[in-house]
Structure 1
C-alpha cells in the first residue's frame, strides 16, 4: 500500500510569539500539495521566522526514520505514532506521563498530528510546531489539503 508522509515544521522566536507575529503564524498552512514522486516518500516543508516564513522543501525516497515516526503495517492497516524527537532540554509543556495512543489507519485514510516544542539555543528560546501528515493508499497531490480522516492535537501552551 502506498504510504506518503509530509512534515510541516515552523520555527520562530519570541519576536513573533505574540501579537502580529502570532496572527501571521496562525495563517501558515498545515499542509501543502505533494510533489510528483513515487511512494513511499517523505515531503518536508520548513518555514522559518528569519526567512519570513517562506516555505522550503525537500523530498526523500522511502519512509521516515524510526527515530521520527513509528509506522507498522499489518492486516491492511497502518499504525502511526510520532516519536517526540525534541532534545531532552526542550519542553513541550505536556505531562510526560500521558501521550495519545498510536492511530490505526485503513486504506485511503489520512492523519494529521501536531505537536509543539520550546527549545533553547545560544540566543535564547525558540519554538517549533511539527505537523505530521500521513496518507495511506491515497497519493493525489491534493490529499493533505482536505480535512484529515484522523486528527491528533498534541499542542500545548508554551
Structure 2
C-alpha cells in the first residue's frame, strides 16, 4: 500500500492559550517534510510547550493501528477515518454522537484532518491539537507542505 501517514501533535497549557503564547502556537506548522523511508510508514511529530515547541520526530514502518485510525484500501480508493484519538477522560467540546464520515481518497490525493482536545490530569489541564496528514499513492518529501486535496476540521471553536 503506497500510503504515508504523518501525525503532528501539539501539547500546551493555559500559558499558551492567549496573547503571545497563542500567537506563537498558531504559527506552528501543520506538516513537515517527510523522512526518506519506504511506504507504508508513520511519521510522528510532537511539539511540546515545555520543550519550547521544538519538534521531536519518530518513524514507524507500516500503518497506524486500526484502534487509532481506520485506513482501508478497496477498489483503487483509500478510506480514512480517525478513531477517537484522545483518552476517554478528554474532551474537545464537540458532540461525539456526530462525527464526519470516512474520507475517500483517490491515488495522488492528500488529506489533512484536525481535532483538538482538552485533557485534565492530576497535574492540571492541558490541551492537544492532532493533525493527521495522509498521502495516498503520491510521496515526495514535501507532499504535506502543499494544500491538501481533502480537509476535515473537527477543532472546537470556544
Q: Which residue of 2 aligns with 1:24?
A: 24
Q: Which residue of 2 aligns with 1:46?
A: 46
Secondary structure at the aligned position of 1:15 is classed as helix
Measured after TM superposition, the shift of residue 44 of structure 1 is 0.3
Secondary structure at the aligned position of 1:85 is classed as coil
Which whole-Å CA distance do the structure 2 matches of 1:20 and 1:102 have between them?
A: 36
1:100-142 CA deviation, whole Å, 9 max, x = no partner? Answer: 1100000000000000000011221100000000000011000
Measured after TM superposition, the shift of residue 89 of structure 1 is 1.1
Aligned residues: 158
Moved over 4 A (4+): none
Q: Which residue of 2 aligns with 1:156?
A: 156
Which whole-Å CA distance do the structure 2 matches of 1:157 and 1:14 have between them?
A: 16
Structure 1: runs of 5 or more not aligned = none
- The RMSD of aligned alpha carbons is 0.8
Q: Which residue of 2 aligns with 1:133?
A: 133
Which whole-Å CA distance do the structure 2 matches of 1:97 and 1:59 have between them?
A: 33
Q: Which residue of 2 aligns with 1:147?
A: 147
Measured after TM superposition, the shift of residue 157 of structure 1 is 2.8
- With the length of structure 1 as denominator, give the TM-score of the two structures: 0.98
- With the length of structure 2 as denominator, give the TM-score of the two structures: 0.98
**Bigger Cα displacement from structure 2, 115-124 vs 31-40:** 115-124
Please tell me whether residue 90 in structure 1 is matched to residue 90 in structure 2.
yes
